[in-house]
Each structure stands twice: as C-alpha cells, then as structure tokens.
A and B are shown apart, each in its own frame.
Chain A
Amino acid sequence: MKKKADPFRALKSWIENGDDALDLEIQEEMDDEATPALTEEAGRKREKKKRDPVRARRRLEGGYAVAAVLVCLALIGALVYAALQLPAFGGADTLVDSEVSAFYVENTLKETGAVNIVTGIILDYRGFDTLGESHVLFIAVCTVLLLLSIRGDKNADRIAREEAFDRHFEPRDDEVLQGAARILTPLVLVFGLYIIANGHLSPGGGFSGGAILGAGLILYQNAFGYRKTERFFTYRTFKWVSLASLLFYSLAKGYHFFTGANHLENGISPGTAGNILSGGLLLPLNFVVGCVVACTMYALYTMFRKGDF
C-alpha cells in the first residue's frame, strides 16, 4: 500500500533504469493488486484474460473488415446518388453558358494554329498542367530507377542473380517472334512518329505517339535481346534523350509563359493551319513529349525485367 502513494514511481524508476525496470514495476503492481483476491475464481479469470488478447484481436480484425465494407458501400451509395443528380450529358441546361468551351472552339485554330483543338488546349492554354504532367512521367521513371535499378550496385551477388534470372526467362532466338518483329517494328515506329508529327492536325499527339514508339522498342528488345538493342538504345541514350527533351520542354514553355505574361513579342507564329510545319511550338513540344513517353515506357520495361538496360 505504501508503495502506491507515489503515482510517479513507475515513471521515475523507468527514467532512471529504462524499459526493463518499467516492465518489472508494472508486473509488481499487477501482482500487488491481484495477490489479496487470488481465489480460485479470480485465478481462472486471469487465465481467461491471458488467452483473450488473441481472440479480441481476431474479433477486432473481423469488425474492422465489416466496417471497411460498410464504409465502402456508404461511399458508393453517396457517389451514385450524387452522380444521378449531375446535369445530364448534352442536356438542355448543361453548361450552355460555358464561356470557356465557346472560347476554345472559337479561338484555338486562330491563335495556336492547331486543327486538333485538344492539342491546342493542353499544350497552349493549359500548357502549365501538361508541363507538370510530363514531369509526372519523369518522376515515375526516377522512382522506379530508385527502387529497382541495379546499375552501379555494390552488391555483386544481386547483379549476378538478376542477370541469371533474366537469362532464364528471356525468349532466346524465337523465330516466330523475330520474324514478326522484323516486319512489325519498323511499321510500329513509323506509325508512332506519324501520330506524333500530326498531333496538332489530327487525333493523337506526343503522349499517344510516344506510347506506340515505346511499344515498338519493347517489341524489338523482346525479340532480339539486350545485345542487339544496345546498338542503338542504352542507358546513356535514355538519359540524354530524356534530359534534352524535358529541358527543351521546360525552357520552351518557360519562355512562352514569360513572354505571354509580360506581353512581349515571342516571335512564334501559328503558321498556315493544316500544314505539317505549323502551330508554332506545338509540333516540337509534341515531339519532345513523344520522346519522353517512349523513353519512359522502355525504361519501365527494362527496370521491371532486369533492373538495367
């Protein structure tokens, strides 16, 4: 009883002696409390208590799962309920007074030279968002490099293991695949370039065209292996192409924002609408976005496959 007069006893002794002492104190305290009333019944109760944590935990986890399902259902219900009340698509009162879309439809061709209005919007009017978006790709590939890259790894075992693993799964000189790739790869690459180059004229652009280019590279790599791909696409290629593309993108857009906000003459003309060489910055921007996307796709593939180019 006298021991209990000091409520900070446990704390004090713990500060002085560390965790072990605290555990000891707590145990002592529990014993103090329990000793006088240690009848048979209490003993059984204590035993029950000892088993309880596992069961209680299991019950907690079960309750947790049920609660999670209920919360999800409630969220789904709320979302569906709200979605039903949204203005109908193409309905009479659906944003008819939206000055923004009217402005885009009216001015995009005239001001940016883009026949494909979407390209005009994402690369010109809302070019800042797209600048961020292309860096999202860059940061994604950097993160994957950070996690999976074995380039420059000090651990020789790990490199050897990855190499062996990769050789085990790599398709070796599969004639069907190689034959198909020999025909398809040039077509795919040319098609990708076509989509990028016509981004400001027809549906497409840097993001979709770049994805096609990347797919072509992956196909070639899959059919012919690292050795042959390395003749034209190595880590250095990836690094320098990404670097140059993103720097050009940031510089071009920075220049565009700066001159635009300060009302300076930027010397970029939209050209004759409909020509391939028109649309001012749109064509080069689409091209660099395409390069970034293609590099990103290919890098992600190799990183997940072996961790190196």
Chain B
Amino acid sequence: MRMLWWQNIPLFLIVAPLMGAVVCSALKEKAARGVMTALSALTVCGMALVLAFTAARQESCVYPMGEVGAPFGNELRFGAVEGIAGLGFSLVILLSVLGGWRSLTRDVPENKRHLYAAMVCLLTAAMSAMVFTNDLFTAYVFIEITTIASCALISATDHGRTLFGAARYMLMNLLGSGLFLLGVSTLYCLTGHLLFPQLQESVKDLLDRDKYLTPLYLSFVLMTLGIAIKSALYPFHTWLPNAYASTTPTSSALLSSLISKMYIFLLIKIFFRAAGAQVFDRDIRNFLLGFAVAGMVLGSVDAIVERHLSRMVAYSSVAQIGYIFLGISLGTEAGMAAALFHMLVHAAAKCMLFLSAGKLREVSGMGDGFRDVRGAGFRAPLAGAAFAAGACSLVGVPLLGGFPSKIYLAQAGIALGGWRMGVVLAALAVSTALHVMYMLRTAVLLYAGDGDARRPEKSPLRKDPCFTAAMLALLGLNVLLGIGSRPIMEAILQGIALFS
C-alpha cells in the first residue's frame, strides 16, 4: 500500500524536533529560542493536519518505521484520538514556552538557556513519539527521554529548594520507570511481542488457554503502578508539590499539563490496545476507581490547607489527575472519552494557572504566599483575569472547559448504573465543592484590598507581548473547550471507535 503524502507527517514530527534539539544545544540563546519556538509551532501545525486528515477520512493509519512493518519492526499508528491529544499537547508546549520565557530569563542563567531550549525540543519529540507509537518498548525509550528532560526542566532554576524538589522527583520517577520496565519485560517474556496489536492477540490467546495468568496480570499491574507514580495518582503524589511549585513557570506548566498527561495517554493505549477488555476487567477497574476517588477528594483537601499560590495549584493537579483516572476506570467508551476530554481541559487550564501564578508572584515582590498576592489581580490585570478564569474552569463554571467535562464524566457514570454511579456522582459533587473552597477563595483573594500595598518599587511588569498573546490564546482555548465541547467530544468518540 502506498502512503499518502500526509501520512508521512508523524515521522517528521518526531525526527525534526530530535534534530532541532541537537542544533539548539550548539547555538546561542537567542537562536536556540527561535529554533525551539519555530519547531513547536510547526508541531502544532503538523498535529492539526494529522487530525484534519484522519478525522475527514474517518480511519486510522499504520506507518511502518522501515521496510519491514509489524510484528518485526517499529510502527506508528495515528487516528483522530492521537490527533486531538497531539494537538492539545503541542499547543501546551508552544503557549507555555511563549508565555513563560520572560520569567525564564530571570530564573535560568544565560549560559544555560540554550540547553533549556534543547530540552523543550526533546520533550516535543518525545511527546509526538509517545502519542503515535504502536510499540511498547519505543514508548519506554521515550518515557526515559521525558523523565530526564523533566528533571532538567525542574533543576534549570538554580536554587537549593528546586534541586531538592528535582532530586525527589527523579527518585520517584525512576522508581516508576523501573516498575514500568519490569512490566514490559515480563509481558515480553510471556508473549514474545512488543507491538500493540500482536500483544493483544497473544494476551487473548494466553487468557483463552488459561496459562501464565499471575505473571500476565502482574505485568499490567506493574505498568499501571509505574505510570501512576509518574503521573502523581493520589497516594504516589508526594514528589509533586515541591517539583511543580519551586521551579520556573514554564517548567511547572509543562510538567503538569504535558508530561503527566503524556503518561496517562500511554496508559490508555496500553489498556485498550495491548491488554484488551478482558484483562482490564472489573476488579482492576474498581481498584483504580478507588485511587481516583481518593485523589479527587484528598488532593483537594491538601490544596485547601496550602497557603502558597503555586503549591496550591500543584496540589489541585492531584485532584484533577484523579478525575482523569476516574474516567479511565469506568472502562466504557464514554468514560474514556470523558477522560480524554478532561485531559485537554485540565491541560489548558493548568497551563494558564501556572503561567499567571508566575506573573502574579512577580508583581508581588517574588513571594507567592497568600499574604503576598493579596490584590495582585489589580497589579497584573491580565494574569489575574487568567488565573480567575482557570480557577473557574477547574471548578466547573459554565462556558469554560471544566463544566462540560464534569458533565461528561457524570454521564459516563450514570450510564454505568449501580453502585459505581453513586460513587462517581458523590465524588464529583464532593470534589467540586472542595474546588470551590480553594479555587474561588484564591480568585477572590487576588482582588481583595486595593492592590497597591505590595507593589514593588521598580515595576517588573515591562511590556511582555508574548505573555499577553499566550494568555489570550489560552483564555480562548478554555472558552472554546467550554462552548465547543460537542464537536470535540464527537470527534473523540469517533476516534475511540477506531482506537482499539
């Protein structure tokens, strides 16, 4: 079968950023920044093209990496779901790099910024590869790249606290990678395959013959556990606040909106493409549901107790990751679609929250305790508005992304019926109430007082057109997800039909 021209795009979306990263590492700061921004913009365009073509043709394609395809060589696979996820992820990269670079020039020393740009390029490549790959081991290789890159992104800010956070992050994430690798090798030992379609066949065969069930289940448990640790599902989230809150805003935005979501997307692929419905049965799902609900509630409780802006936003990530796992754990197509949609919503909102929190900190004398940022909304109007909008979106105020996504999650729960419906609805209600308590409280706090109390003498708020543009784009994105949720959801559902 001859490839159509656009089917080559994913290959270039992986190879071009890899080469860009190498080039960036040899350039000076300005040129490296240009290369990085151009590549992220190109990735956005490429992802949009992939999405447009796959959605229009309503099919998913397989792209062999070399002359020999599956099951002997590597393979890429892409359809509407991959297109949507990739588009969302690449937008996050572009906007957080645009919006946060000014703060980054303050946090990262000049002789290291070109390396930071290289890291962002590598992250872009790893994102494309993880979204498109149809091969378990390739996914692991790019997990490695992502892990190292994210450690570098955190520790680029040269403070003691950041390094502490980065070290903790690294230890926990390496543990996650190790567990994942153990799972992959156990599975390979049982099936002799690494590509998803063949894996699914062999797993089905093993289940039918009733052989090696313990190691088989264990391998999936290990992979799930590894990814749960790396994406900060509730009891494994202790590395998160220090890592997210102590570094430069771009890094926080990338870590929370991109990196943890990439891992979850991979987990969805593993569940639905490699394991198949039989392995991912009721018990595992109920187990995951328990963790998800715990995260939704207890993550919010942690956030309520917190007294620092960026640490609070970081803890709210734990709750939001709980939402996504809730959707996955329902095990239905509607649940998975809701999880994917919530992934996009959370990425858009969290990126905006972290970037604006960085700006609010800047106008409050570099402190982001609640007492420093009182009235900061008056000192930095756009950042304040963006923070308020992001907070409202996560709470679930209509017209913003969080509202439809909560409705979809609830609908998926209701369709399931039984006690799980009750659990889903109760968890959503409690978590939303808790979100109101800390998110809206903080949004109000930003507009308390007259705002002049802590205005720094020399205003650091120079004109920053990139930040303005990124914030406006993110605001637009959140509203788009809020009012245009139906076509997006339809595209996701269509893609899911072709997914497994």
Interface residues of A, Cβ cutoff 8 Å to B = 11, 15-16, 18-20, 78-79, 81-83, 85-87, 95, 98-101, 103-104, 111, 124-129, 131-133, 135-136, 138-140, 142-143, 145-147, 149, 151-154, 239-240, 242-243, 246-247, 250-251, 253-254, 256-258, 260-263
Contacts and interface: CB of A to CB of B under 8 A. Distances in A.
Contacts of B64: 260-261
Interface of B: 2-3, 8, 11-12, 15, 18-19, 21-23, 25-26, 63-68, 71-74, 109-112, 115-116, 118-119, 122, 125, 129, 135, 137-138, 141-142, 144-145, 148-149, 151-152, 155-156, 182, 186, 189-190, 192-193, 212, 214-215, 218, 307, 369-371, 374, 441, 444-445, 448-449
6 contacts: A86-B190, A129-B74, A246-B19, A251-B19, A258-B11, A263-B67
Contact of A15 (B110, B141, B448): B448
Contacts, number: 179
B180 to A, nearest CB: 14
Nearest to A78: B218
Is the contact region of chain A dominated by helix, strand, or loop, or is it mixed? helix
A104 B110 contact: no
A126 to B, nearest CB: 6
A87 B25 contact: no
Given A125-B68, A126-B74, A257-B15, 7 more contacts: A11-B441, A18-B371, A86-B190, A87-B189, A135-B125, A254-B12, A261-B3
Contact of A142 (B118, B218, B374): B118
A132 B15 CA distance: 10
Contacts of A242: 22, 25
Is the contact region of chain B dominated by helix, strand, or loop, or is it mixed? helix
B148 A81 contact: no
Contacts of B307: 19
B137 A100 contact: no
From B67, B118, B151, name the one whose CB has the most chain A CB atoms within 10 angstroms.
Answer: B67
Contacts of B214: 81-82, 85
A245 B427 CA distance: 53
B192 A132 contact: no
Given A87-B190, A146-B156, A262-B8, A135 B18 contact: yes
B2 A262 contact: yes
Contacts of A104: 72
A100 to B, nearest CB: 6
B112 A127 contact: no
Contact of B19 (A86, A103, A250): A250
B122 to A, nearest CB: 5
A139 B449 CA distance: 47
